[in-house]
């Protein structure tokens, strides 16, 4: 082992999170405490954990604290997280030439190296008193600065384990078959929505990008304002389980989510239960195998489930919009994990949502809506269009709060194909449906004296009439679902009275 006054050999090692670091760089502005460790060694793990107390005092004194792991980058990063150690971690692969050059025979072994690459102290195993002296030596560089204090918890001294450079290759290889569980590791990192995710390896992210520029920026993601690059979005798509062919839909949905009108900041911070609903129109539905028929708003379709999930992971990870941090929803709902479905344009007697919103027929379009979980509406008996719409409208009248009139918010009605055929067969168009829903749901102020009351009620006489929606334009009609079963649904909106959300539609772009 190198002794005091000896020259510490330079090294160039990879960081656990990428990049190369040399001893010259580490000691350029002050001394560095270099600690050789291995995950298999309990003393190494204890040392990593307890040295965290020195990280900030070292930084204040212009010194560096660094752990050199005799493990893979993945294992090193996981070990640092488990030990609660936030300082620099480097990795040294076999045959561990740096450890050999330093004469390391035991891990942990620590060397305090000054700006001239001279060894100031060397400590084998765990020795609290010796390491405390190192902390005080470093603190003296900046009089009046903080002195790192190591825990007084026993043991004061603990021997280490054999360094891997002292072992034969077969033994090292056997030790290197680490019990590393990628899925559990991602849970530990907080990179999940509560369900297992796909590890976003460099190769998987590269395939998702498919030649696109990884550093292209979409700007900050509210509410945490982390910058969303194309690479980060691709990582979210991988985590969610997307195929590369879904990525154009994900990018369009991400652009829509970040439009100010959508108000993802408010959607995330509100105590309401609303989340992003991704509605896909156009040829891309068939091209990537989306489900617009039976169970369209349920699971069991990879494209539907993972596209919606990618957007939620984007907001939760890059924008920190996840509970209990910046997502403040009182109850939440399953759609806050993933909610994405496709229009059943083939079964619809009307123009698609995309065409209704001004896009040309045949264009692939993604529409983002801030909505709640679907409220299913059954009417298997009515045959007259007015009767069908009465049932659907009455369900819609209860959204947000049954006594809140009007809500002044766009609301999506998902009309099942059977109901749609009955309505269209009687000559009703989308606009007719929307106008009738608005008309049917009007109520008198006197009927709404109990429960939550909106600001529009104040000062009105009991016999005044109020609609649930201010205009038919707020009633959005989408056809989706299976051919059999006379069901429709209402997707309740987030009601914000000027602070809410507006639907945003984006055409799929060839340059993304």
Residue 356 host element (H or E): helix 353-356
From residue 339, alpha-carbon distances to 14, 174, 275, 450 in Å are 40, 45, 8, 33
Last residue of a domain, one of 176, 210, 243: 176
Nearest to 28 by CA among 78, 56, 4, 63: 63
Does pLDDT of 464 surpass 60?
yes
Last residue of a domain, one of 320, 353, 386: 353
Peptide bond into 262 cis (omega under 30): no
Do 203 and 137 have their domain in common?
Answer: no
Beta carbons of 441 and 310 less than 8 angstroms apart: no
Res 53: pLDDT? 96
| 253 is a domain residue | yes
Res 293: pLDDT? 97
- Distance between CA atoms of residues 32 and 114, nearest Å: 6
- Distance between CA atoms of residues 337 and 78, nearest Å: 26
Do 153 and 38 have their domain in common?
Answer: yes
Beta carbons of 117 and 8 less than 8 angstroms apart: yes
Do 105 and 224 have their domain in common?
Answer: no
pLDDT in tens, 155-164: 999 999 999 9
- Distance between CA atoms of residues 326 and 199, nearest Å: 24
Q: What is the CATH number of the domain that holds 137?
A: 3.40.30.10
Do 200 and 262 have their domain in common?
Answer: yes
pLDDT in tens, 374-421: 999 999 999 999 999 999 999 999 999 998 899 989 999 999 999 999
Give ∠ CA 19-116-14 in degrees, rounded to 5. 15
Three-state secondary structure call for residue 305:
helix
What's the domain range around 457?
Answer: 374-491
| 501 is a domain residue | no
pLDDT, mean of residues 258-279:
95
Res 176: pLDDT? 61
Do 339 and 191 have their domain in common?
Answer: yes
Beta carbons of 444 and 462 less than 8 angstroms apart: yes
Does pLDDT of 178 surpass 70?
no
Do 162 and 192 have their domain in common?
Answer: no
Do 119 and 45 have their domain in common?
Answer: yes
Does pLDDT of 25 surpass 70?
yes
Pick from 95-99, 177-181, 497-501 the range whose average pLDDT is largest.
95-99
Res 457: pLDDT? 81
DSSP string, 205-254: HHHHHTT--TT-EEEEETTTTEEEEHHHHHHHHHHHT--GGGHHHHHHHH
Least reliable range by pLDDT among 179-183, 330-334, 433-437? 179-183
Beta carbons of 270 and 494 less than 8 angstroms apart: yes
Sheet containing strand 109-113, edge to edge, reads: 20-22, 12-15, 88-91, 64-69, 32-37, 109-113, 119-124
- Distance between CA atoms of residues 214 and 287, nearest Å: 24
Least reliable range by pLDDT among 57-61, 71-75, 278-282, 344-348? 71-75
Beta carbons of 276 and 504 less than 8 angstroms apart: no
pLDDT in tens, 48-102: 999 999 999 999 999 999 999 999 998 999 899 989 999 999 999 889 999 999 9
Nearest to 254 by CA among 232, 270, 271, 224: 232
Res 145: pLDDT? 85
> Would you state the structure tokens that stand for residue 165, as one six-digit string?
């450079």
Do 131 and 16 have their domain in common?
Answer: yes
Band (pLDDT 50/70/90 cuts) for residue 169 is confident
Do 287 and 320 have their domain in common?
Answer: yes
| 361 is a domain residue | no
Res 449: pLDDT? 78
| 498 is a domain residue | no
Do 139 and 225 have their domain in common?
Answer: no
Beta carbons of 275 and 371 less than 8 angstroms apart: yes
pLDDT in tens, 113-131: 999 999 999 999 999 999 9
| 425 is a domain residue | yes
Q: Are strands 217-221 and 226-229 parallel, antiparallel or unpaired?
A: antiparallel
| 426 is a domain residue | yes
Res 179: pLDDT? 55
Does pLDDT of 481 surpass 90?
yes
Q: How many domains does the chain have?
A: 3
Does pLDDT of 152 surpass 90?
yes
Give ∠ CA 51-57-62 in degrees, rounded to 5. 110
Res 456: pLDDT? 79
Mean pLDDT of the chain: 93
> Would you state the structure tokens that stand for residue 387, as one six-digit string?
């009767």
| 417 is a domain residue | yes
| 508 is a domain residue | no
Do 226 and 314 have their domain in common?
Answer: yes
Beta carbons of 49 and 128 less than 8 angstroms apart: no
Which one is predicted more confidently, 428 or 450?
428
Do 190 and 277 have their domain in common?
Answer: yes
pLDDT, mean of residues 472-494:
96
Res 6: pLDDT? 95
Give the number of other CB atoms < 10 A from CB of residue 455: 8
Give the number of other CB atoms < 10 A from CB of residue 350: 20
């Amino acid at each position: 082992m190198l002794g005091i006054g000896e020259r510490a050999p330079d090294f160039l090692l990879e960081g656990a999170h990428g990049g190369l670091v040399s001893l010259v760089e580490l000691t350029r502005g002050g001394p560095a405490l270099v600690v050789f460790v291995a995950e298999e060694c309990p003393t190494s793990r204890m040392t990593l954990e307890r040295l965290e107390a020195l990280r900030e005092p070292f930084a204040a004194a212009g010194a560096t604290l660094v752990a050199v792991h005799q493990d893979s980058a993945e294992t090193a990063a996981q070990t640092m997280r488990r030990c609660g150690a936030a300082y620099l971690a480097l990795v040294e692969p076999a045959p561990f030439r740096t450890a050999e050059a330093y004469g390391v025979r035991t891990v942990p072994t620590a060397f305090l190296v000054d700006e001239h690459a001279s060894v100031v102290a060397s400590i084998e195993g765990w020795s609290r008193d010796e390491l405390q002296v190192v902390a005080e030596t470093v603190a003296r560089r900046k009089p009046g600065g903080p002195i790192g204090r190591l825990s007084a918890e026993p043991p004061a001294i603990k021997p280490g384990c054999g360094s891997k450079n002292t072992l034969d290759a077969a033994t090292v290889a056997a030790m290197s078959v680490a019990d590393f569980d990628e899925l559990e590791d991602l849970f530990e990192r907080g990179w999940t929505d509560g369900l297992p995710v796909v590890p976003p390896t460099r190769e998987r992210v590269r395939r998702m990008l498919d030649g696109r520029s990884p550093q292209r920026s979409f700007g900050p993601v509210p509410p945490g304002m982390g910058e969303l690059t194309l690479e980060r979005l691709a990582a979210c798509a991988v985590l969610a389980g997307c195929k590369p062919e879904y990525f154009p839909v994900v990018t369009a949905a991400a652009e829509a989510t970040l439009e100010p009108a959508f108000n993802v900041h408010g959607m995330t911070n509100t105590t309401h239960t609303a989340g992003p609903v991704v509605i896909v129109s156009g040829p891309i539905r068939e091209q990537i195998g989306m489900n617009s028929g039976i169970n369209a708003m349920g699971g069991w379709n990879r494209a539907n489930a993972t596209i919606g999930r990618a957007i939620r992971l984007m907001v939760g990870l890059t924008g920190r919009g996840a509970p209990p941090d910046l997502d403040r929803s009182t109850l939440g709902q399953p759609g806050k994990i993933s909610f994405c479905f496709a229009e059943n344009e083939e079964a619809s007697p009307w123009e698609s949502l995309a065409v209704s919103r001004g896009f040309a027929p045949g264009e692939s379009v993604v529409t983002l809506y801030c909505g709640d979980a679907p409220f299913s509406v059954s009417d298997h008996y009515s045959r007259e269009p007015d009767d069908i719409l009465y049932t659907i409208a009455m369900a819609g009248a209860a959204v947000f709060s049954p006594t809140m009139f009007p809500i002044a918010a766009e609301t999506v009605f998902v009309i099942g194909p059977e109901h749609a055929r009955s309505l269209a067969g009687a000559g009703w168009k989308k606009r007719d449906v929307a106008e009738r829903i608005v008309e049917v749901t009007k109520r008198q102020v006197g009927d709404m004296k109990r429960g939550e009351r909106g600001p529009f009620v104040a000062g009105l006489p009991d016999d005044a009439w109020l609609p649930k929606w201010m205009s038919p334009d707020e009633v959005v009609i989408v056809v989706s679902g299976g051919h059999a079963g006379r069901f429709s649904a209402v997707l309740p909106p987030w009601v914000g009275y000027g602070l809410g959300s507006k639907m945003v539609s984006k055409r799929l772009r060839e340059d993304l």
